[in-house]
A = this chain, B = another copy of it.
Amino acid sequence: MDKPNSQDRVDTEARILEAARLVFFKQGMAGARMQDIANQAGVNKALLHYYFRSKDKLFQTIFIQAFQTMLASFKEIIVSPVGIREKLEAFIHIYISNMRQNPYLPLFIINEINKNPDSFPKQLIPQHNQVDLRQLFVQAQKEIEEGKIAPFKPLHLIMNVLGMSIFTFIAKPMMVQMLGINETQYETFLNEREEQIISFVRSALNPS
């Protein structure tokens, strides 16, 4: 019944990864404890080392996968052949709905890059990402010159949209503490959020 087979291996490894994600996302690399991850996964501490050799290796696995999840959200938008407004709105839509499943993801990534900018895995920055982004800037500039949108500098425009979207998730604990908001109220806030950001941006972009 307990005969180990390749299916067990997959299951255990997956359970560990899931547990590691939970703990690392919440606590960060420095704050996470292998013991916590093991408990969370319902396995022995030694097993983590059996599967991933070291805390650092396990962390790398989680981080890289998380970063790619994040990138995927971005990527999905940039390439499609529509106007800047549509791209921004699509981004807000996709980002807000994706991150509802992973509310800790944005803060986790920002944090770990911040603490360790040097050891950022180079494999994670394929050349074409930067190219795609620059394309987006060019497109924005063009639409400004054509009078389609109000003249905000493209980089700032993007940062505005990113800031409003990402802050939605990052700020939850702050809202709880400073505004005394509870879980239900935050849910309501989340439900309105996409529409509110989109209409805010839409209003800002109207050429005067």
Q: How far is the CA of A113 from the CA of B174 in the complex (A)?
A: 7
A130 within 8 A of B: yes
A138 within 8 A of B: no
Q: How far is the CA of A192 from the CA of B206 in the complex (A)?
A: 21
A31 within 8 A of B: yes
| Pair B159/A28 contact, Cβ less than 8 Å | no
| Pair A156/B200 contact, Cβ less than 8 Å | yes
| Pair B197/A117 contact, Cβ less than 8 Å | no
How many A residues touch the partner, as a band? 35 or more
A26-46 at interface with B (beta carbon < 8 Å) = 26-31
Copies, count: 2
Q: How far is the CA of A115 from the CA of B173 in the complex (A)?
A: 9
Residues on B with C-beta less than 8 A from A27 are 30, 115
Could you tell me the distance in whole angstroms from the C-beta of A141 to the nearest C-beta in chain B? 14
Residues on B with C-beta less than 8 A from A208 are 203
| Pair B107/A177 contact, Cβ less than 8 Å | no
| Pair B111/A107 contact, Cβ less than 8 Å | yes
Residues on B with C-beta less than 8 A from A167 are 159, 162-164, 166-167
Identify 6 residue pairs between A and B in the complex whose beta-carbon atoms are under 8 Å apart, listed by A's number. A111-B111, A113-B173, A157-B200, A163-B164, A163-B166, A163-B167
Q: How far is the CA of A153 from the CA of B204 in the complex (A)?
A: 15
